[in-house]
Structure 1
Amino acid sequence: MSEHKETSILARFASPLIVLATIIWGSSFVVMKNSVDVLPTFWLLAIRFTFAALVLAVVFIKRWKVLDRQYLIGGTVMGFCLFVAYAFQTFGLEQTTSGKNAFFTAVYCVIVPFLYWAIAGRRPDKFNILAAFLCIAGIALVSVTGSNASAFNMGDVLTLIGGFFFAAHIVAVAKYSEGRDIFILTTLQFASFALFSWIGVLVTRPALTPGVFDQSLIFGLAYLVIFASCGALLFQNIGQKYTPAATAAVLLSLEAPFGVFFSILFAGERPTPLMFVGFALIFLAVVCSETKFSFLRKKRVDKV
């Protein structure tokens, strides 16, 4: 297949791939919750991304001829941002519910414009500021969730920090993917992520419970490696490369409602009315920040 034809196909399916990634991530919050309850965080991340890197390295072995210093730098930066994001998200998941973890993670979509301002000097407009206030209001309401989790806790704080680094990862992907093979870049991202995770294992030396690798955990890890990593994260990187930033951000925000949907369906979580209002405000903040409600203004012009 020629490079031009491959690019055309990837561009055509970029948006559907992002949506598919959000569905996979939504379901993975429940799997992550079950896995992190029995496996220490750094062990979980190290195993997951070591095998993910190996799988992609073998699948795309013919592409390695393009490897150079810039690929190594880009893959390392992307891997570091993603490692810190996942570490905080996973530590947060130990102390909060999978549904709240999913929604607080989605705040990265609102953070992105402000991070671009800090890096590129592009000041956020009134829509970005409005989105920030909507997001804060949504977080306040989500924290009041009755018997499920009655207060804003440390797990939520850790998840929000993870959300910031997910935003940093989005910025890094946008910067380093331009003009480069996204498959090799993603493989290097996974490899550097695995390296940082093994360093975390060596530093913290978490103890493993004897017999922890039972059938249930092995199937959970396999799902995280094949679908949530090799599949969803690769789909995200492809989507970001070939989809306009505003469209990609809105599509990626679908991860949150899918996360809550699967948490309710499989984990028995019981959302409250206030939680739904908070979720709606956070989602509205994402739409406001990334689309500036341009679709509403276009409809008004068409009516005239």
Structure 2
Amino acid sequence: MKKILGILGLVTVTIIWGGGFVASDIALQTLAPFQIMFLRFLIGAFCMGMLARKEIKTITKDEILCGFLLGSALFSGFALQIVGLQYTTASKNAFLTATNVVMVPFIAFLLERKKVELKSVAGAILALTGAGILSLQSGFSIGLGDSLTLGCAIGFAFQIYLTGKYVHRIRPAILNFMQMLSACILSFIGLLFSGRIVFEGVSSSGWLAMLYLGVVSTTVCYFLQTWAQKYVDETKSAIILSLEAVFGTVFSVILLQEEVTSRMILGSVTILLAVMISEVSFKKKDSSSV
């Protein structure tokens, strides 16, 4: 029963994150990328801190380190994603982010020497093919936004991998708080370097988008993800979380009136097929999967 609830929790996360692509696009109209990052994780750190307030007094060095590593991966993913969104469409940003699913087993191989099966390699090649269909422009060049988004996928792949690695040994409330606090501090550093410290001219829709991103898309979603990954293995979690791209595209088409093209459909189907092949390729009956 808990596994079913975990799966439902992850599906809920993907729906909310799908709307997050649109909210980020709206926020970018009056806010700079690192302003959005800082506010998002500041809200997340505050909310997670309130949830973990009784446990913070007994926090350990190991929990701080694990939370920092997880927060760094989260920060890199979101930073590259939101900067990339300035140079590409919300739908392409969503689907290219989804390639993180096929990266997870290769991260496990590099860090833990876990075996990567032939079908996983096939899934990765197919995912890159789908990314190419979505991203390659005339002259076989890849746009800046597409490249940054593929980089963000690596960050999110590490975040999924590390969450599965830490969730059984670190208290969830502390892990989430340190993850958000670390991402907030790194975002503030990025904000200082960007030179956009002053928040002025922000529209009401921009502030509403920030509330959605900070409270719903960050606090609620990462609480659900951490809880759900206690009952759903990393491989299954990754494949379920890939649905974020589907909902991201749906919301982009409905709310942002993005045009649906045959190239978008073909690239999207190819990536989703790659995700399915990858999930089958390294799924195992025991608990040793990535």
Asked if Structure 1 and Structure 2 have the same fold, meaning a TM-score greater than 0.5 normalized by the shorter chain, the answer is: yes
| 1:98 equivalent in alignment to 2:90 | yes
- Give the match for residue 155 of structure 2: 165
Report the CA distance between 1:209 and its aligned residue. 6.6
Report the CA distance between 1:175 and its aligned residue. 2.1
Q: Is the 8 A contact 2:35 2:197 kept in 1?
A: no
Distance in 1 between the 2:38 and 2:132 partners? 34
Distance in 1 between the 2:141 and 2:9 partners? 36
Deviations 1:56-94 (A, max 9, x none): 211332233541111100110000111011100011001
Query: Residue 142 of structure 1 is aligned with which of 130, 134, 137?
Result: 134
Query: Residue 73 of structure 1 is aligned with which of 36, 44, 65?
Result: 65
Which amino acid is 1:172 matched to? Answer: L
Query: Residue 168 of structure 2 is aligned with which of 164, 175, 178?
Result: 178
| Residues 293 and 84 of structure 1: CA distance in aligned 2, closer, same or farther (over 3 Å) | closer
- Give the match for residue 287 of structure 2: none
Q: Is the 8 A contact 2:10 2:237 kept in 1?
A: yes
What are structure 1's unaligned runs of at least 5 residues?
1-7, 295-304
Distance in 1 between the 2:282 and 2:214 partners? 37
Q: Is the 8 A contact 1:17 1:236 kept in 2?
A: yes
Distance in 1 between the 2:58 and 2:228 partners? 21
Query: Residue 116 of structure 1 is aligned with which of 108, 115, 132?
Result: 108
Report the CA distance between 1:153 and its aligned residue. 1.0
- Give the match for residue 201 of structure 1: 191
What are structure 2's unaligned runs of at least 5 residues?
284-290
Distance in 1 between the 2:232 and 2:46 partners? 27
Report the CA distance between 1:204 and its aligned residue. 2.4
> Which protein has the larger Cα radius of gyration, Structure 1 or Structure 2?
1
Distance in 2 between the 1:246 and 1:153 partners? 30
Which amino acid is 1:32 matched to? Answer: S
Runs of 4 or more consecutive aligned structure 1 residues displaced over 4 Å after TM superposition: none
| Residues 211 and 274 of structure 1: CA distance in aligned 2, closer, same or farther (over 3 Å) | closer
More helix by share: 1
Task: Name the % identity.
Answer: 31
TM-score (normalizing by structure 1): 0.87
Distance in 1 between the 2:180 and 2:186 partners? 10
RMSD of aligned C-alpha atoms?
Answer: 2.2
| Residues 119 and 293 of structure 1: CA distance in aligned 2, closer, same or farther (over 3 Å) | closer
Query: Residue 21 of structure 2 is aligned with which of 19, 29, 35?
Result: 29
Which amino acid is 2:30 matched to? Answer: V
- Give the match for residue 302 of structure 1: none
| 1:260 equivalent in alignment to 2:245 | no
- Give the match for residue 187 of structure 1: 177
Query: Residue 282 of structure 1 is aligned with which of 271, 278, 288?
Result: 271
- Give the match for residue 297 of structure 1: none
| 1:244 equivalent in alignment to 2:236 | no
